[in-house]
Structures are given as C-alpha cells and as structure tokens.
C-alpha cells in the first residue's frame, strides 16, 4: 500500500465535518476479513473491531477475557479488507486502566501491528491520564461512556445507565473531559435518549449511540446482532436487518441432507 493510499477515505476530520453538516454517521462492528469486506463496501463510515468479539466470536459471557493479542488478530484481518471506512479498535480490559504507560504501549501495539486508524476505550475521568498519554503519541482516541461492558461486575446488570441525575451529571462531565482531552468521538451506550441528545448538542465531536436514541450524531450496532446471527440478545434498541441465523441453519441442514442422500456432489461437482 502506498503512503497516499494508506489513508482511508473516512478520517476523523471527515467525521467532524459530517457532524457539522448534520450527516449521520453509520458505524458497525467487524472482526474478520470477509465480513469487513461486505460492511466496508456497503458504505459503513466507521468499522469497530469491538471487544464484543469476546462474546460473538469467542463465546465468552462478558468482554473481559479477550486479550490484546486476540484483538490484534481480529483487527489485522479487518484492516486487510477495508478500503474506505475508518477502522477503530477497542483496547481490551486490563490494557489501559490504572497505568498510562501500559495504555500507551497497548495502543502503540494496536497501531503498529494492525495499521488501524484509532483506538477506543471505556470510561471518563478514571482513564483520562491514559487517554491523554495515548493522544500525546498522535494516536486518535474514541471514548465510550454510559453502559461500559468492561465494568459489568461493578454495574451488576446490563440495564440502562444514567437514569439517575448524579450518574447523568457525571456522564456529561466525562464527555466534556474527553472532548477537551482531544478525543475525536465518543460512543454512548444504553442511556436515556434525552441525555444522548444533550451530550451530542453540547459537544463538537461526533457522538455515536447504541441505545442512546436518535438525537446523537450516528449509530453503532454489533454486526452479528444486525444480521440476526445472534438469537438470545434482544434489547429494545436492536433492529435486526436480516435473519441470517435461519438462512445459515437452513443452508447447513440442506447440505447435511444432500451429503447423507449422496445428492452432493453430483456429476458436475467433481473432477
């Protein structure tokens, strides 16, 4: 890839311009080459190599077990496929909290080993030092507030966050802190729509919601949920755009039946 072509069409600057002109931003997860190719070609603006890979790719209950090496494996596959979208990679649990030098080292590994465009991490004031240190190395950072799945053991549930005034005030304060630090965008997960709209209207950087209502600057979903591959996850905010679970199950059943009945392979399907 030449120096010129290594810069993808969607940049962090372009996202800010989209917010300024009121154009909504479409963001979706991907974790592998084939899916990222489809997602990118279909016009998604930002591809998130989310640590939700822990759930949908590896089958873990929470996002906590996924490692930096695993995230790097997924991100490399995605980056190889993507021509247009901005690629953002989640810093996994334990690679940025508490020690900003560790945070910087983790972010540098992601940027060097995957050639992605940016990193995302969860939290506000608690991780500000890490955010600032990563930014000081010229690495774009996206924040993530509201329901932050890496803190599930603190929350105890995946219910809507920031319904109480004190938590809403902290979220708003954290959003401003992240913007002032230099984050290029923020994800807001599962919070009241009115709060999402307020954060988006007060901030100059794009605010992308997942279960944060329609008043934010863009939306993000987990691709496996959008495609209807996952079955046991039906939060109110999720719109399924396909039923790939049914399509794939039926395809596999037909294949099994054809093999058993000796219908596959036929004359034309062999050498």
Query: Contact positions toward ligand KIV, by CB under 6 A?
Result: 29, 48, 50-52, 90, 144, 187, 189, 210, 220, 222
User: What is the radius of gyration, based on Cα positions, of the chain?
Assistant: 20
How far is it, in rounded angstroms, from Cα 53 to Cα 76?
A: 14
Looking at the Cβ atoms of 155 and 264, the one nearer to ligand KIV is 155
Q: How far is the CB of 216 from ligand KIV (least distance, A)?
A: 12
Which residue lies nearer to ligand KIV by CB, 239 or 268?
Answer: 239
Nearer residue to ligand KIV within complex by CB, 160 or 252: 160
- Quote the tokens at residue 244: 């790939």
Q: Based on CB atoms, which residue is closest to ligand KIV, 144 or 161?
A: 144
Find the shortest distance in angstroms from Cβ 246 to ligand KIV: 23
- Report in angstroms how near the CB of residue 260 gets to ligand KIV at its nearest: 38
CB 50 within 8 A of CB 223: no
* All residues at 6 or more sequence positions from 142 whose CB lies less than 8 Å from its CB, including other chains: 88, 118, 119, 120, 121, 183, 184, 185, 186, 187
Structure tokens at 126: 């608690």
Handedness of CA 51, 93, 131, 191 (dihedral sign): positive
Of 23, 167, 189, 202, which residue is the catalytic one? Answer: 189
Q: Are 186 and 135 in contact (CB under 8 A)?
A: no
CB of 226 to ligand KIV, least distance (A): 11
Is 167 among the residues known to form the active site?
Answer: no
Residues carrying an active site annotation: 189
């Amino acid at each position: 890839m030449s120096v010129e072509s290594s810069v993808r069409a969607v940049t962090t600057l372009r996202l800010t311009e989209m917010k300024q002109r009121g154009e909504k931003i479409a963001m979706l997860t991907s974790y592998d080459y084939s899916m990222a190719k489809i997602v990118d070609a279909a016009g998604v603006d930002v591809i998130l190599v989310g640590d939700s890979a822990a759930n949908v790719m590896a089958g873990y209950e929470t996002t906590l077990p996924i490692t930096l090496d695993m995230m790097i494996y997924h991100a490399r596959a995605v980056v190889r496929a993507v021509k247009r979208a901005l690629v953002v990679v989640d810093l996994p649990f334990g690679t940025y909290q508490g020690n900003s030098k560790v945070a910087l080292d983790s972010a540098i590994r992601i940027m060097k080993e995957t050639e992605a465009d940016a990193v995302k991490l969860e939290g506000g004031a608690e991780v500000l030092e890490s955010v600032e240190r990563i930014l000081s190395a010229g690495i774009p950072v996206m924040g993530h507030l509201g329901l932050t799945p890496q803190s599930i053991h603190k929350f105890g549930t995946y219910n809507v966050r920031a319904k109480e005034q004190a938590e809403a005030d902290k979220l708003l304060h954290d959003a401003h802190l992240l913007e002032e630090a230099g984050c290029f965008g923020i994800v807001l997960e599962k919070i009241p729509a009115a709060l999402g709209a307020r954060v988006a209207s007060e901030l100059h950087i794009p605010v992308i919601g997942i279960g944060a209502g329609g008043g934010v600057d863009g939306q993000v979903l987990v691709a496996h949920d959008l495609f209807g591959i996952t079955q046991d996850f039906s939060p109110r905010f999720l719109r399924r755009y396909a039923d790939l679970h049914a399509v794939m199950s039926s395809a596999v059943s037909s294949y099994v039946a054809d093999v058993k009945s000796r219908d596959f392979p036929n004359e034309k399907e062999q050498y």
